[in-house]
Structure 1
Amino acid sequence: MILRRVARPLLASIFIYGGIGALRDAQGHAKVVEPFLNDTFDKVEGVLPEGVPRDPVTLVKIDAGVKIGAGLALATGKAPRLASFLLLGSLVPTTLATHRFWDIKEPAERQQQITQFVKNASLAGGLLLATADTGGKPSLGWRARRGAKKAAKRAEAVLPN
């Protein structure tokens, strides 16, 4: 459908653009998210495996790679539901790390961060829709239930009462 061919690249564009920007200035992005990461890692101490990277620059680069890769996949229609899910998984911590309006006292800056937070919440809504979009085909759940009913009818026809 033409709508998906237009909507997916539009939705994906902000993630691709943001991922490229994060790769170009990984150090700057890392400084912004470092307080959030430190708080988060303190709260989950002993829960995360040792192999999970904790360096903010590395995490920014991983997040940027996810945004670029999943954004390109969504834009081109390759595994769009998975791509949307990955972008959503990237958007939530990014939003919590970079738009912490509840910590800001200065009214103008606070209002700007509220606006960015709400914008990201709106993007999350679009990604949720894209995650659930089956492209006009029945969902896997529907197909599974239908297949089970057909199998049950066939078994009733073959097996004696």
Structure 2
Amino acid sequence: MDILVLIGRILFAAIFLSSAVGHLTQTKMMAGYASSKGVPAAGPATFGSGLLLLAGGLSVLLGIWADLGALLLVIFLVPTAVLMHGFWKEKDPQTRQLEMINFQKDIALAGAALALFALIAHTGTDLGLTVTGPLFDID
């Protein structure tokens, strides 16, 4: 099971780490998009979310308090779904559909991150193939 969870962590973390690179290297462009969606302080929010993605993604990938890393990703994903992909605000059917897909993707990834959090926090040091054990303990 350890190797399957490791492969899952690698595959799961990849999307967040690549997104972190975009947030941190293209902050101005991404902040412009966030601003158009009504995100307050879009520049600092974009940079901060990039750091959140980087910390959460690396934590899950490397298995350094991976349970905490999974929670950091949830903290990114849920507000992003609501603030950036408010499909209910869109009038154009195509735009509405695209935003709904992105909203559902973010919510599904948040659910997966919560499941990963629970798995790691419950399994503890028995999981293996991590640098540290979990920060949280769920019995």
> Could you state the TM-score of these two structures normalised by the residue count of structure 1?
0.71
Instruction: Give, in whole Å, the separation in 1 of the partners of 2:81 and 2:100.
Output: 11
In structure 1, runs of 5+ residues without a counterpart are 39-54, 143-161
Instruction: Give, in whole Å, the separation in 1 of the partners of 2:55 and 2:13.
Output: 10
The correspondence of residues 79-158 of structure 1 with structure 2, limited to 5 A, is: 79-134=65-120, 136-137=123-124, 140=137, 142=139
Runs of 4+ aligned structure 1 residues displaced above 4 Å come to none
- The residue that corresponds to 1:9 in the other structure is 10
Q: Report the Cα offset of residue 67 of structure 1.
A: 0.3
**Two-structure CA RMSD over aligned residues (Å):** 1.9
Deviations 1:37-76 (A, max 9, x none): 34xxxxxxxxxxxxxxxx3211210110110121011011
Matching residue's letter, 1:140: D
Where 2:53 maps in the other structure, the secondary structure is: helix
Matching residue's letter, 1:108: Q
Is residue 87–residue 99 contact of structure 2 (8 Å, CA) maintained in 1? Answer: yes
Instruction: Give, in whole Å, the separation in 2 of the partners of 1:140 and 1:76.
Output: 19
- The residue that corresponds to 1:74 in the other structure is 60
Structure index of larger Rg: 1
Matching residue's letter, 1:21: G
Q: Report the Cα offset of residue 141 of structure 1.
A: 5.1
Identity of aligned residues (%): 27
Q: Report the Cα offset of residue 104 of structure 1.
A: 0.9
The correspondence of residues 42-57 of structure 1 with structure 2, limited to 5 A, is: 55-57=41-43
- The residue that corresponds to 1:37 in the other structure is 39
Where 1:109 maps in the other structure, the secondary structure is: helix
